[in-house]
Amino acid sequence: MKHVFITGVSRGLGYGLAVHFLKNQYHVFGISRNPPDGDSHAVLDNPAFHFHPLDLSDLSNLEENFSRILDSWKNGHDFANPEFVVLNAGILGGLGDLRNTSLEEIQRIMDVNVWANKIMLDVLFAESFPMNGQVIAISSGVSVSGTRGWAGYGLSKATLNMIIKLYAAEKPEVHFTALAPGLIDTAMQDYLCGYPDTEKFPAAIRLRAARGTADMPHPVEAGEKIAIRFRDLLRYKSGSYVDIREMKSLCVDNML
């Protein structure tokens, strides 16, 4: 039985990915602060779904808490060498200009979107837990676009891209990708599409226009579309940033 580890499985893309992998006979090991919500019986009642609550913003205890969860999964469910580690959990923070964004707010976003992922990867890569599958960190187009308004979030995803590149250089036996997943109709979009000041942050207008269209699928649909491209990522050099919307036109520099 194949294993996948996904962060942020309670809702949104992480939930959609969990549904896809369960349908495809994987054991899904998932964390988030909350379990998938009460309507999500297809996931919660599936014996191949192994959930543990974990708060990724609690960095001071994360190494210990995550190690404990891994131990319980290893002992109880033979969790080992996952084919995919999907670092999906993320927070947006509020839209705002960088000059109006406090260091505290940036740090809050960085803790969840960046440093928690570093801590979890270091635990996963510890000698007692060999791994040679794929690590896929869910990034965003704004990690490279510098779109006005996505200040702390853009910084965090750009740093995540670099973390993935650095680990790729350090761990040749694992394949790493920072993957921009395209638009998905999740709680994050509830906030963005409802943002009132579109004059200041016009990118929000494009999001509103995409909502309800094929350009912004629902999480379960998106989870499937995205997950079936995971193995294609092996065609890119480990450590690449890849935007799923551009996967057909592969950049030669990035290819193996």
Ligand X SMILES: NC(=O)c1ccc[n+]([C@@H]2O[C@H](COP(=O)([O-])OP(=O)(O)OC[C@H]3O[C@@H](n4cnc5c(N)ncnc54)[C@H](OP(=O)(O)O)[C@@H]3O)[C@@H](O)[C@H]2O)c1
Which stretches of the chain bind ligand X, using CB under 6 A?
Answer: 8-14, 32-34, 54-57, 88-91, 112, 138, 140, 181, 183-184, 186-189
Give the nearer residue to ligand X in terms of CB position, either 12 or 96: 12
Asked if 2 and 79 count as a contact pair (C-beta separation under 8 A), the reply is no
Give the nearer residue to ligand X in terms of CB position, either 215 or 255: 215
Give the nearer residue to ligand X in terms of CB position, either 32 or 161: 32
Q: How far is the CB of 172 from ligand X (least distance, A)?
A: 26
Q: How far is the CB of 231 from ligand X (least distance, A)?
A: 20
Spatial CA neighbour of 83 closest among 8, 118, 129, 135: 135
Which residues, in sequence order, are bridge partners of residue 230?
A: none
Q: How far is the CB of 39 from ligand X (least distance, A)?
A: 15
What would the two tokens of residue 9 be?
């499985």
Q: How far is the CB of 67 from ligand X (least distance, A)?
A: 16
Q: Is 107 helix (H, G, I), strand (E, B) or coil?
A: helix
Give the nearer residue to ligand X in terms of CB position, either 87 or 174: 87
* Residue whose CB is nearest to ligand X in the complex, by number: 12
Instruction: Report d(CA 82, CA 130) in Å as an integer.
Output: 10
Instruction: Report d(CA 28, CA 2) in Å as an integer.
Output: 9
Give the nearer residue to ligand X in terms of CB position, either 98 or 203: 203
Instruction: Report d(CA 146, CA 150) in Å as an integer.
Output: 7
Instruction: Report d(CA 13, CA 95) in Å as an integer.
Output: 21
Q: How far is the CB of 47 from ligand X (least distance, A)?
A: 21
Give the nearer residue to ligand X in terms of CB position, either 34 or 72: 34
Q: How far is the CB of 216 from ligand X (least distance, A)?
A: 7
What end-to-end distance do the CA atoms of the chain give, in Å?
29
Instruction: Report d(CA 110, CA 123) in Å as an integer.
Output: 19
Q: Is 246 helix (H, G, I), strand (E, B) or coil?
A: helix
